[in-house]
Amino acid sequence: MTDVKPVLRLEGIVKTFPGVRALDGLSFDVLPGEVHALMGENGAGKSTSMKVLGGIYQPDEGAIIMGDEQVVMNGPLEAKAKGIVFIHQELSLAEELSVAENIYLGELPRKSFGRVDWALLYERTDAILKKLKVGFNARTRVGDLSIANQQMVEIARALTVDAKAVIFDEPTASLTDAEKVVLFDVIADLQAEGVGIIYISHRMEEIFKITDRITVLRDGQYVGTVETKNTDEERVTQMMIGRKLDLSRNVSHHELGNVALEVRGLSCGKLYSDVSFEVRRGEVLGFYGLVGAGRTEIAETLFGLREPSAGQILLDGEEVRISSPADAIARGISLVPEDRKGQGLVLGMNCRDNMTLPQVDDLKAGPFMAEGAEVAIFDQYRDKLDIRTPGWKQRVGNLSGGNQQKIVIGKWLSMHPNVLIVDEPTRGIDVGSKSEIHKLLRGLAAQGYAVIVISSEMPEVLHVSDRIVAMYSGRVMRTFTSEEVTEDNLIQAISGLTDDRAA
């Protein structure tokens, strides 16, 4: 690999924001046809470095080299013109416009007299969409697409450019397994064309499956670059967080309390049917299954967002009807939603206000108390969850992705719920913080909360759960205790293959 000329090189990049040294001398290069992973904890500076490369931020110091020349990216369009394509961590699409308009925004094909050539636009777009094997077309309104499909639109947009380097910033965070396969195919095609790929992800399996080299950042500093085939998860983790992690399975040490929540024969139209389970105080109940198995919909029902078509919900042994989120909160049920952007956070608001949002009315009781009380809550959960921010006044939109997720978790924890439901709690969260959040969830159970964890990551459910409900296509296939569950029987259950002990 040594005599191949890199497609680009970053040299000694420094970038500061008020109170934060986000990048402190980052250098690495990307070779043609390689997939180069960028790894590091939440807030390490991964997205910032790519925003510098993509012309969104100007570096305070350092240089970007392409070919033999130093280049300056005076904005995203200039970067794009130089062949740098950036697929963002946070989606940046115009919801009101069609898929085709989003893909060719600013570059719509035109006929004479400047009128948009719609036929050509749709034809070109559909050709790209066909490659991506998606289930929507050029005319679909972007706002009507799922987050995963919106992500595919971003990827489609990248394919319209004659790219030298393509940056994927956590592209798989909301993709299904089938969509991931398509994405990896797209990446392989780009590689074959000699494009350099920069790939940011917290998911080790992916990193070890598709990348050639890994560059690690810690607190804005360059730690090192290693060849993927010469390293392993443990060593990369150590580079990222400077210590080893305990990734063993959970063993419960505390006593379980009474049943906090019981669900009997719960159904919701075609989404799920005849679902029964219980969760005790002191217990973490995991829900595992493929996307579309009905797990999120069950959570939404318990949180008053969906009305069940049949069945019963019992809290502390008493049947209840939960007709709205306010109702759920009043009864001590909290839901940390899957999509933090849409449902969890107000990006323009500061950290403290986001965290105390659901309790603003309670805290307002005394006008002079409120400020102090809110800051105290923020401080407490910042420490508990290790939220990296220069202070509570920071806009949540300026935090790194993982730290945003921690704010959402803090917000619901600070309500002291009896039943805490977390949907994909560590999506986009680095390994170190992930294990902190797992510990935190275990700790909450130990304190007597009933905790429900919905996850698509098998190591996660295995690690945190006392028992695991395996779902397939809207049904509970089997409930496992942590003693009897294995990776094999769990996969079998969520694939709809039951054995004779199936529930």
Of ligand ATP, Mg ion, none, which one does residue 6 interact with (CB within 5 to 8 Å by kind)? Answer: none
User: Minimum distance from CB of 236 to Mg ion (Å)?
Assistant: 17
Give the Cβ contact number of residue 278 at 10 Å.
16
Nearer to ligand ATP, 214 or 271 (CB): 214
Nearer to ligand ATP, 28 or 287 (CB): 28
User: Minimum distance from CB of 48 to Mg ion (Å)?
Assistant: 8
User: Minimum distance from CB of 403 to ligand ATP (Å)?
Assistant: 6
Asked if residue 215 lies in contact with residue 184, where contact means CB atoms within 8 angstroms, the answer is no
User: Minimum distance from CB of 471 to ligand ATP (Å)?
Assistant: 29
Could you tell me the two tokens for 382? Answer: 């910042």
Of Mg ion, ligand ATP, none, which one does residue 55 interact with (CB within 5 to 8 Å by kind)? Answer: none
Of ligand ATP, Mg ion, none, which one does residue 45 interact with (CB within 5 to 8 Å by kind)? Answer: ligand ATP
Distance of CA 121 to CAs 106, 115, 139, 142, 157, Å? Answer: 12, 12, 10, 16, 13
470 conformational bin, left if phi > 0, alpha if psi -120 to 50, beta if neither: beta
User: Minimum distance from CB of 76 to Mg ion (Å)?
Assistant: 17
Give the Cβ contact number of residue 258 at 10 Å.
10
User: Minimum distance from CB of 101 to Mg ion (Å)?
Assistant: 27
Q: For the sheet with 20-30, list strands across it.
A: 20-30, 8-17, 61-66, 69-71
Of Mg ion, ligand ATP, none, which one does residue 281 interact with (CB within 5 to 8 Å by kind)? Answer: none
Residue ranges binding ligand ATP (CB under 6 A): 17, 20, 22, 40, 42-48, 89, 388, 398-403, 430
Distance of CA 305 to CAs 30, 106, 374, 410, Å? Answer: 46, 39, 27, 21
Nearer to ligand ATP, 43 or 304 (CB): 43
x-or-dash string of contact with Mg ion, 362-401, rule CB under 5 A: ---------------------------------------x
294 scored as a contact of Mg ion (CB under 5 A): no
Nearer to ligand ATP, 17 or 74 (CB): 17
Nearer to ligand ATP, 48 or 102 (CB): 48
Distance of CA 101 to CAs 122, 141, 151, 264, 413, Å? Answer: 9, 9, 15, 47, 41
47 scored as a contact of Mg ion (CB under 5 A): yes
**Exposure string for 466-492, b = 16+ CB within 10 A, e = fewer:** bbbbbbbebbbbbbbebeebeeeebeb
Of ligand ATP, Mg ion, none, which one does residue 163 interact with (CB within 5 to 8 Å by kind)? Answer: none
DSSP 8-state assignment for residue 5? P
Give CA–CA dist 295/308, Å, rounded.
Answer: 14
Of ligand ATP, Mg ion, none, which one does residue 304 interact with (CB within 5 to 8 Å by kind)? Answer: none
